[in-house]
Amino acid sequence: MKTKHIVVIGAGYGGLSAAALLAHKGYKVTVLEKHNQPGGRARLLEDKGFKFDIGPSWYMMPEMFDRLFSLTNKNREDYYKIKRLDPSYRIFFNQNDSIDIPSNADQVGDLFETLEKGSKQQLERYLADAKYKYDMATKEFLYKRFSSIFSLLDRNLVLDPAGYDILKNFHKHTKKYFKNDRIIKIMEWMITFLGSSPYNAPAIYSLIAHAEFNLGIWYPEGGLISVSNGLAKLAEDCGAVIKLNSEVLKINCKDSKAVSVTTNKEIIPADAIIANSEYSFTEMNLLDEQHRTYDKNYWEKKTYSPSSLLFYVGLNKKLKTVIHHNLYLDEESDWEGHFDSLYKNKRWPENPMFYLSVTSYSDKTVAPKENENLVFLIPIAPGIEDTPEVREHYFNNLIDRFEKINGESIRDHIVVKHSYAINDFVRDYGAFKGNSFGMAHTLFQTANFRPDIRSKKVKNLFYTGCMTQPGIGTPLSIVSAEVAVKELSKNIS
């Protein structure tokens, strides 16, 4: 019997994971990637000896990565190594006023107790609830396709005593445990990386606290590009072929089946397709109208994760006041106003919070000796106007605030500077409105309310990545690949 040929569009984490799983099952697999390196959003920028992770900078939920390797009878340690960061990150509130978040949950409780009496015990209760939700989600949600409301209303979920709590508002859930403003912000800010606001996300996503405080924040040696390269090598070791600089221009269909893809170089026959390309871009640009499950109006009405304004900066000096991950919630930032600018009254934020990654703090290989690599990130609303003038305005704001808060001069030590924002996300990934992470995690964009893993119009077309189920984030992209491969294997004869 002829071996089925599966084409995977896009070498992001979801696409590479799907390719590895498919090849391990015995399928012939070809991965087509438009860029000159694998990783999708997790690519590498190099300049004058500085190395910058272009996209993701956090490595969490390591067991989900390890599970992928174990499913292919491989060990993740043979492909890349990780180490736990301690402290996990530093939060700057003002000049000479910062807090280090320990990697040990008990020590986090001790820290909280200095801010609010009784909060250590409250944190223990919060984390117990978060672990329960995390375990429940892992068992009931993550590795399962939700094709309808009936698949969501699983008997175990309906009868679960926590089932009513998971649908409550995230912010109200947090305030049930804590009163101190700083503690609340510490417990809520991570929701940004799930593409949501604490004011519109359901409380089930408080499970992120278990991932953060119990499972920990990790760093892959060499940066997130090491994960990209590791997943690519895994796929190839399993038998997949990866073709770089191969942009898919069209999915060719006949009788409600995909039969081939047209690239910038060739036409490649396919028995089935897994698209790791942006879901909306795939539907609107690669498929003819009659083969689209969702129309443009559907995508326009959805709520998306923030986009990002990123600056990749190389310094010819070392810094004394930063660690690997740094968050700025200083007096010039407007917490509620910034979230309002992201989701309600979409605009450029007047007084933004910002995040700073300094991987050279933990890794000597990513910057020249006695130099530092910085990545600044401001979450911004998708779809707003992106111009060089606006970028430069915010760059100057960031540098001024950094120098004021940290008391260290950096402006005159910048030897490398690049920016990346909405227009770049659209150009490089076809990201709808230039979003960074995918479709936001709101109540009505969870489980079966997200775009389906399987096309409803093309029966051998499947999707993986941050726009489909289960959701946003590099670990969940890998999970979506496992779900997509299961569905493909069941439905392709």
Whether residues 446 and 298 fall in one domain: yes
Final residue belonging to a domain, choices 157, 186, 211: 211
Task: Give pLDDT, residue 158.
Answer: 47
pLDDT value, residue 155? 43
Domain edge (last residue) among 211, 231, 258: 211
The per-residue pLDDT for 317 is: 98
Residue 472 confidence (pLDDT): 80
CB 193 within 8 A of CB 58: yes
- Residue 126 phi, psi dihedral angles, 5° rounding: -60, -45
- 186 assigned to some structural domain: yes
Q: What is the pLDDT along the chain (493 residues), one digit of tens a residue?
A: 689 999 999 999 999 999 999 999 999 999 999 999 999 999 999 999 999 999 999 999 999 999 999 999 999 999 999 999 999 999 999 999 999 999 999 999 999 999 999 999 999 999 999 999 999 888 877 877 765 444 454 545 544 555 556 778 899 999 999 999 999 999 999 988 778 889 988 888 899 999 999 999 999 999 999 999 999 999 999 999 999 999 999 999 999 999 999 999 999 999 999 999 999 999 999 999 999 999 999 999 988 899 999 999 999 999 999 999 999 998 888 999 999 999 999 999 998 999 999 999 999 999 999 999 999 999 999 999 999 999 999 999 999 999 999 999 999 999 999 999 999 999 999 999 999 988 877 767 666 778 889 999 999 999 999 888 887 889 999 999 999 999 999 998 6
Q: Are residues 291 and 271 part of one domain? A: yes
Query: Looking at the structure, do residues 207 and 232 belong to the same domain, yes or no?
Result: no
Let me know if residue 289 belongs to a domain. Answer: yes
Structure-token match 């036409």, residue found: 267
Tell me the pTM: 0.95
Residues 377, 312: contact at Cβ < 8 Å?
no
CATH code at position 479: 3.50.50.60
How many domains are there within the chain?
2
Q: Which of 423, 380, 419 is nearest to 399 (CA)?
A: 419
Q: Are residues 21 and 169 in the same domain?
A: no
**CB of 85 closer than 8 Å to CB of 218:** yes
Q: What are the b/e assignments for 393-431, b being 16+ CB within 10 Å? A: ebbeebbebbeebbeeebeebbebebbbbbebbbebbbb
Whether residues 231 and 181 share a domain: the answer is no
Same domain, 57 and 133: no
- Tell me, what's the pLDDT at 150? 45
Q: Residue 155 has which token pair?
A: 């008997």
Question: Which residues sit opposite 98 in a β-bridge?
Answer: 92
- Classify residue 15: in a domain, yes or no: yes
Domain stops at, among 211, 231, 255: 211
**Structural domain that includes position 59:** 5-74+222-302+442-491
Asked whether residue 247 is assigned to any structural domain, the reply reads yes
In a domain, 435, yes or no: no
Residue 287 lies in a domain: yes
Provide the 3-class DSSP secondary structure of residue 149: helix
383, 422 Cβ separation under 8 angstroms:
yes
3-state DSSP call for residue 85? coil
